[in-house]
Structures are given as C-alpha cells and as structure tokens.
Amino acid sequence: MGYYTGRVSEIRLEVGGQWEIRILCPGEAIPAPGQYLLASDSTDRTAILGTPIFISEEISQGFWASPLFPVPWGPGTSLDLEGPLGHGFNLPRNTQRLGMVATGEIISRLKPLMTSLADRQTGVTLFTDLKIPRLPEVVEVSPLATLKTALDWPDFLAVDVPLNHLGELRGLLGVGNEARSPCPAQVLITTPMPCSGMARCGACAVNTRKGWRLACEDGPVFELSSLLW
C-alpha cells in the first residue's frame, strides 16, 4: 500500500447511467482488477472519509475509475490516493473459458479481466441483464436466465454481486442449500466500505465458513467456496 497524488482529467457517462472518471496517477497506484483505491479531494479539508474506486480500464499514465458511490469531482480535481487496498481477482493461469456474472448495477468492475484476456486464446462470456457498455470483441453476452444451463462451459467464474443479493446466486447457479458452485469461482462483493479498514467498523462484514470477515480488508474479492451464502 502506498500514498499517491492523482488528478481527474476527464469524466464520461457510460451505458446504464454510470459515471466513470479518468484519473492520471503513477503506475504503482493503479489497482489490480477487484482491488480498490481510497480517493479523496485533496483540497476538501471537510472530507473525513475517502471514496473507494475500482479500475474499469487501464490507460496510459492512469486508469478509468468506477467509484463505489457518486462523487462531485470534475476535470482538474486533485486527488489523494491510498492503496491499492484489498484482495483482487486471482484467475488461474490455465483458464481457457471464463464466465463472468454481473448482477448489481454496473459491469465496469469486471471489464479489466476481459481486457487482460483479449490477447489470449480464451473464451469469455458475460452473463448479465444490465445494459451493455463498450466491451472487447472477444466477449459474448448472455442473459442471467441462461447461466444455470451453461455452467458446464466455463472452467472459472468471476462474479460481481452486491452483498445484499449474495443469496440470489443460488437460484442463478441452480444449486440447493449446499450452496456449492459447479465450478471454481471468485466473487467481488460490492458493499459500502465507509472506513476502508481504518477503523474496522464492521459495516462491510461478510459471513464466511471461517467466521465474519471484512470486505474492505479480507476482500472485496472472495473465493465463492469460502462464503456462507
């Protein structure tokens, strides 16, 4: 973890009404897919807590960011950046068929995984009912209703799901009370992380097979098999 200075250079409105922010920063500050940075306006002395931001797309000298909640920043805003924080996705190197599931409000937090696989001989299918933003050409898109009948295809699943919708994965995956995924899977749990681990406030607590864990520190990406869902 480190402390860096960044600058907002551009904002854009993605499909579905999601604002994304182009941040110029040192390469060391760019989070891996699923990790996050804690960002705050360096000129706003009234701000107590920062905003968790996730990478949507890496660019020269920075990245496009997807904030966890709306922010008032505009082009030219100077940012204090802390991180990268948390645990991101860790796909097996031999992944040949990647399934992705987006059940929340946006797809952007999964986009860096798609980009990283674009130059490999890897099949990528996104299962979602959300409006589709710009995606790499290698990505196929299917509705969520088709997921349970397609689970013999992927050899790995990457999921983005709000914490309060975690239980809905049972129906999407077609599993019973045992809550076991048909294939290895990692889950990016999206939930407010107000203290980002500074106070261990417990607001982002996730129930796991080894007890309660904090999304801000132990996640936000978890092995699906480790969760009680």
Only one residue has tokens 């905003």, namely 51
Q: Where in the chain is the domain with CATH 3.40.50?
A: 97-226
Listed residue (69, 75, 59, 61) closest to 21, CA to CA = 75
Question: Which is higher by pLDDT, 3 or 175?
Answer: 3
Instruction: Give yes or no for residue 131 having a pLDDT over 60.
Output: yes
At the topology level, CATH places domain 2-85 in Elongation Factor Tu (Ef-tu); domain 3 (2.40.30)
Instruction: State residue 116's pLDDT score.
Output: 75
Tokens encoding 22: 């182009």
Range scoring the smallest mean pLDDT among 22-31, 32-41, 44-53: 44-53
CATH 3.40.50 at 97-226, yes or no:
yes
Instruction: State residue 177's pLDDT score.
Output: 57
Instruction: Give yes or no for residue 46 having a pLDDT over 80.
Output: no
Q: Where in the chain is the domain with CATH 2.40.30.10?
A: 2-85
pLDDT bracket for residue 2 (50, 70, 90) = very high
Pairwise CA distance, residues 79 & 25, whole Å: 9
Instruction: Give yes or no for residue 121 having a pLDDT over 70.
Output: no
Q: What is the pLDDT of the chain when averaged over all its residues?
A: 89
Please state the pTM of the whole predicted model: 0.92
Neighbours of 106 (CB within 10 A): 23
